[in-house]
Structure formats: structure tokens, C-alpha cells
Structure 1
């Protein structure tokens, strides 16, 4: 059940009442208000938990929050002052927005977006001013993609077209694009129609030496392939991935960028994550392999297996490209199974690595009896069993481990006894009791392992008619 929400004014009134009626000091009044509302099941994630103050410029004003004081200064200076005079105020507002979502949300509720967009439009001719204004827009839209309107979209596209040579401006603009495309399908579609994809791939090519810009642009491309807007029944995630690959040479651009930043873990991690989102068709998986992407990914896993975040993204990329049966064999032939098991054993306490490791091995085993033998010989099943023991509360680890065991024995029933001797049956049974969502995959694994399992027939199509 969704928690109740209150307005900032209601919260502030409660704090004020605690101070006036019960003579509490500000910190005590604030703490009491938070505890009071949380005990009533109120969601305070959008509430600025601070005592309103008065501006040092005007002690006669009603107390208000700092972010709103800064917004008022920007509103007053919007038409009366030049951009240079307002730079300090813009930077102050940015800092306050970066304090947390509650500050950004409150500012947006009080009309911040049109004020900031007006500064953005006034700044387009000057590099330093446009960078300052974009930084404000990026901060304000973080977590609030609904703010972006048609005028804002066109502004971002124009900046990306007109400032291609300036990596700092490009990075700030792309950051704003990324914020506005998370959980917002319409923004994604509108920006793609407006020509955002070649601007993003072009930025990676033109500024291949800028680690931060490459990382930002790669993330923005990845966000274009999301299907995360619950308000939309059918998105364009698959179509956008195809456009990036087929029309904008995305695979080669990303792989070349990775080769340029082999010493930068965070950039490599982001590039791997984006590649995995683009491996949506059999031929794309093969293209990644042919372009040297698989060799690069395997090298990363071998050289950086001690870095859990990079390992997680590399495993995700391997899992994605191994959707192609020929690539499955290439991964196994390159020693991929051994590397995956080493990584899992190294980071056995990390549930994300264990989940992706099991998923990777599961994909490699699917329809491939020879690969199943290699996985068993290299301790893949044992690593999955250990992962299940270590992460009993993780649904995803349990599901992926069950899927791996099922795929191992589906065409190689002679492997069942060895897996059962590792204690798999008890672990799967426990997963079924603990996680309802494990029901289908867990029972399928038990069945294929040759264990006793009750399979319910939900509907047979008999016993009665739909009509009287």
C-alpha cells in the first residue's frame, strides 16, 4: 500500500507548532515532526526536513526554505539583471538542488522550471553562461523528467548541435538529457525523433579522449533503450536499440571507446552496460564478437576480476551477447567459464555478482551439452550452490541458480547425481519455501534433476463451459 503524502506547508506548520505551542528548540521541533508523521505512515521523501529561515537581505519576510529564497532571487533578477550578475545566484540554486530530491521537488512545485529555462535560453550565445545554466537545469530535472517540455527539448538539441566542440557544455547537456529520459518514454521518443542519437554517438567519437563525456554519452544511449515508464504500455526500447546499431554505428563506436579507456574502470563499466542493452538481436551479438567486443570483454574480466562493479557489468554483457549460439561457443572456447567461476568465487559475498554469474553460466549452458560439461568441470555448479547458500534471501540469486541447474541437466541427465550430491535439492526446496516467485523455475529444476516434485495443473480446459 502506498504511503500517505503531505505538503511542505503542512510539515512546516507542524514544526512551527512544536516551536510555538510546545516551546521546543528548532532541532527538537524538527525531529518531533519527522517522528510524528513517520509514525502515521506518511511518506516524507519529498519533504525538505529543515526549519525555514528568513533571508539575510530582508528580515521582514516570512520564513522560507533556502532553495525557495534562491529561486525568488532568480525570479526577481530574470528580467532586470544580466546573466553575469546572476551567475552566483544560479550556482547557489544548483548547490541547493543537489542537496537532495526534496529540495528539487519543492523548487519545481513553486515554478522553478520556467524560470531556469528562461536563463538557459538567454545564455545560448555565451559558453560560460550556457554551462552555468545547463548545470542548473541538469540538477533540477534529476528525478523529475516530467518537467521537460517541448521548448526544453528543442533547447537541449540546439545546444548539442551548436556546441559540439565544447566537451564541458556537451557533458552538461547530455547529463540533462539522461535525467529527462529516465522513466519517461515520451521524452525518449521525442528526443530520438529530434535527432538525439547521432548527437550522442558523435559526441563519443569527437571527444573519445574525454572519459567523463564518453561515460555520460554512453549512459544516455543506454537510457534510450529502457522500457521503464509504467505509464506506457508499449515503448520503443527495441526500436531505439536497433537505430543506435544499424543507423548510427553504435557498436563500433562503443567498442572503440572502450579500447581508448582500458585504464578507467568506471568508463569501461558504463560501456559494457550499454553494449549489453544493444545486444537485442542475434546478428548484433555476432557483430559485437566480430568487432572485437567479446575479446575486449573477456580481457576485462581476466584483468579486472577483483573489481566487483566492473565484473557485474562484464558478466551482464557476456550474458547478453551469448544469446547467440555461436557466441556461446566462442565464450567457452576463450576460457570464459573458468573466468566467470573465478569471479563468482572471488565475490561470493556480493549478491549482484553471484546473480549475474549464475545467469551467465545459465545462458552458456542453454541447448549446449558440451558447454554443460565444461561448466561442471570448472566448478560452475558448485559456485552456484555456494551462491544459494550465501544469499538465501536474494530472490534473483536463487532464481538464476535454479535456472542454471535446470539448463545443465536438461540435455545432460547424467550430470544430475553430481549436482544433487552438492546439496542442490535441499537448497532449491528452501528457495521454493522462501520465495514465491521461485515456484516455476525451482520446480522445473527439481523435476529435471529427477527429484520428487508436485506440479499443479492450473487448468486443463475441461469440466464445464463458458456458456450456460
Structure 2
């Protein structure tokens, strides 16, 4: 795996050297430079792999196109040329979208401060503001560290001042999403500024706009992530509680879902967000009380052929099944049959199998009556079939082992039928192939009554050492 890094300037210099010193044409010089650095283990992910523009007449015209645009933008911001700044922001945003390498280079050359000044210059001009939000959103995609306090406060102000404007709201939420993904501090700072109220408010104000609803759901979902490896403990759980308790998030999302019966993309995002919010026992029950369970079961039945939507509905069912009363409600509503049907229909999709097994595992946990329904409905067979089809997917293997374990832990009568389906060899294979399956596979084998080879990790003695 590549672990060395170089600057864009170093890469460009080598390309130019290949042209001037070795008389290679530009394409040959570029390919030679790429091969040279990759053979040395250099990561070129953030390098623009094109030949830099050279201009003998005009030094300012020398460089990569995005830097030329950035320089023009800087000059026009300094001279307060509003119309030119607005046009250049669109051009800059488009160039940022060409790839991470372009955004990275621009970020290294102080693009954030330039775009921020342009944003402040155009704040009162709606069209200019739209272009500024577009440029900032494009720049910060994958680079959430670029934004700081002033930009975050400005973002929340825009969401407040333009709450009735769907187009501005959409771009502001997209920027929120970009600066919060994998950045815990930005999330916490924006929450303190009241962003959750504006995100849920966007769904209320623009409930008929699928783009706004989808973007707002995605941003709310990101607020519940714990994905910043630099932070030992995030506020994901607290943010989920705030969305539900202070902003009526679950009710809002379930009501919104009913308005998009024919839009599977929006429904997928709504279900995914609901699953992230069910962090407490009472929240799971709230979903049922608000009609969310009946809606999701009907959705699963009606859209059984849509893999992405099926995966998200299964994820949501798994989440709300954390409540024991809700487990029974899912089973009584026919949810078990539909989960097994979804797994069977999409047996080649590892993610559907993973979520399906996880949902069945939750329904079976501590519920012998539910285990009976799952067995009769072919749940054990579906889980084992998923193990056969996806032997290299540790998630599927682990969740399928959990299903088997939960089915037999309190109902030993199911052990023999499951063993006759070939469970033992599949679980042994999962245990030997995937280290993270070892504990759950061992538990499943034990509860099935199989002989388990126990590995003693440490006896307390090594050489002359004794505990």
C-alpha cells in the first residue's frame, strides 16, 4: 500500500523535466512520471495527472486551470466585481467537481478563504449566493477540515434567512453534509448553532421537494455518525436524541415518507435515517405508534424487487426490533415472511443478506415464539443459503451465525433440523475463514450441541514465567 506523498509542484516538475531533458512528448512525459512515482510507492490520489500549462508570454497564465480560475476569483473579489465573481464561482465549482485532486490542490492554495470572501461579498444577492454555496460545497467535498467558525456561522445564517427558498436550502444542506462527514467537531459546532432545527425545518417547509427532503435526510443521518477516527468519543447518540425529542424527527420523517410513495430514492434515504434515530427503546416503539411499521411492511411488500430500498427497509426493521414489544409487532404484521422473501429474492446481494440476517437475528433474540415463526417461514434455511452464496463476506457470515444461535439458544428442538440443513460445516467454515466470526460461530456451534475445540489463549505460563 502506497504510503509516500509528493506535492503537485514536484509531480509537475518531473513531467516538465521529462519533456525538456529527455525530449518526450507531453503524453509520454506524463505517463513516465506516473509510472516512476507509483514504482516508488508514492500515492498519487491527490495529484492532478495532466501536463501543466506553460506560457512564456504571461507568467500568470502558467499552471493548472483550477489555479488560474482561483487567481482570477481572488483578484475580482479584491476589486468587488460582483458579476465577475459570481460567474467565476460557477467555473471554480465545476472544476472542483473534476476530482479530489483538483479540490485538494485548490484547498492547498488558500481557496477556502477566497471563496469565503466571495460568499460574504454576495450574501445579499440570491444568484451570487447560490453560486458561492455551490463553489464552497464543491471545494469541501472530502475536505471538511477546510471550513472554520466563520464559515459555519455563515452557513447557519443562510439556512435561517433563506428557509423558504428551496434552491438555496438545498445547496446549504449539501454543504452541511460535506463539512460534517467524518468531522465530529464541525458536527458539534453546527448543532450548537442550531442546525438540527433548520434541517428538520427544511423537510417541513419543502416536504413536496424530493431533492430537499433527500438531502436533509442524508444530512440528519450524518449527524448521527461516529466516523471521525481522530475523536475517541463522539456525540452521535446525543444528536440522535435531539433530532427525535427536540425536533420531532421520527414523526416528521414518517409523515414525509407517506408523501413519496412512488419515489424509491427518497424512501430509501428516509428509511436509512429512521434506522439511525432508533437509539432508545421508546423511539423504536414511537415508530410503531406513528404508523411507521405498517408503512415499512407495506413498502417491503410493494417494492420487493428494489434492492436498495429493500436493504434500507431491512435496516430500519432491524433497528426498531431492539425493542422486545416491537419484535412481536413485526412478526405479527407478517414482517418475518417478507424478510425471508427479500433475502431469497436478492440472495446474490450481500448487503441485503447481511441486513436480512441481522433483522431475523433481532426478532429471534429472547423470543421462542418468534423463533418458531422464523423456522416455519424458512428463516434458518435462508440464513444458511446466504452463508453458502457469500462465503467471503464476514458481515453475512457473522449475522447468519447469530440467527442460528438465537434460534436454538432457547429452543433446542430446532437444533436437529438446522443441523440437517448443513449448518455445522458452514459455521465451521465461517469460523476458520473470518477471525471476527470466531466468538459468535463458537456460540452457535455450542448451542447446536456440536463439539467445539476450545482454544486456551494463555495458560498463565510461558518458559520460566508463571502466573
Same fold (TM over 0.5): yes
Per the normalisation by structure 2, the TM-score is 0.96
Q: CA deviation at 1:455?
A: 2.3
- Secondary structure at 1:24 match in 2: coil
1:441 corresponds to which residue?
A: 440
Alignment of 1:58-137 (within 5 A): 59-61=58-60, 63-137=62-136
Matched, 1:6 2:6: yes
Deviations 1:169-197 (A, max 9, x none): 01100100111111111111111111111
Q: Is the 2:80–2:121 contact (alpha carbons within 8 Å) kept by the matching residues of 1? A: no
1:282 corresponds to which residue?
A: 281
2:43 corresponds to which residue?
A: 43
| In 1: Cα distance, 2:55 partner to 2:310 partner | 49
Q: Is the 2:142–2:178 contact (alpha carbons within 8 Å) kept by the matching residues of 1? A: yes
Alignment of 1:168-317 (within 5 A): 168-317=167-316
| In 1: Cα distance, 2:368 partner to 2:459 partner | 33
| In 2: Cα distance, 1:204 partner to 1:28 partner | 52
Q: Which moved more, 1:378-387 or 1:453-462?
A: 453-462
Q: Is the 1:54–1:61 contact (alpha carbons within 8 Å) kept by the matching residues of 2? A: no
Q: CA deviation at 1:337?
A: 0.9
Q: Which moved more, 1:74-83 or 1:375-384?
A: 74-83
1:53 corresponds to which residue?
A: 53
Q: Is the 2:61–2:68 contact (alpha carbons within 8 Å) kept by the matching residues of 1? A: no
Q: CA deviation at 1:460?
A: 8.0
1:162 corresponds to which residue?
A: 161
Which structure 2 residue ranges, 5 or more long, are not aligned?
none
Deviations 1:351-398 (A, max 9, x none): 111111111111111011111111111111111111111111111111
**CA gap 1:428/1:55 in 2 versus in 1, 3 angstroms:** farther
| In 1: Cα distance, 2:87 partner to 2:341 partner | 52
Q: Is the 2:184–2:234 contact (alpha carbons within 8 Å) kept by the matching residues of 1? A: yes
Give the root-mean-square deviation of aligned CA atoms: 2.0
| In 1: Cα distance, 2:352 partner to 2:86 partner | 45
- How many matched pairs? 466
| In 2: Cα distance, 1:62 partner to 1:124 partner | 30
Q: CA deviation at 1:230?
A: 0.9
Q: Is the 1:55–1:69 contact (alpha carbons within 8 Å) kept by the matching residues of 2? A: no
| In 2: Cα distance, 1:22 partner to 1:375 partner | 71
Which structure 1 residue ranges, 5 or more long, are not aligned?
none
- Secondary structure at 2:391 match in 1: coil
Q: CA deviation at 1:459?
A: 6.0
Q: CA deviation at 1:461?
A: 8.3
| In 1: Cα distance, 2:340 partner to 2:25 partner | 57
Q: CA deviation at 1:54?
A: 4.3
Q: Is the 2:60–2:68 contact (alpha carbons within 8 Å) kept by the matching residues of 1? A: no
Q: Which moved more, 1:412-421 or 1:79-88?
A: 79-88
- Secondary structure at 1:5 match in 2: coil
**CA gap 1:191/1:61 in 2 versus in 1, 3 angstroms:** closer
Deviations 1:116-144 (A, max 9, x none): 00011111111111111100010001011
2:32 corresponds to which residue?
A: 32
Q: Is the 1:167–1:213 contact (alpha carbons within 8 Å) kept by the matching residues of 2? A: yes
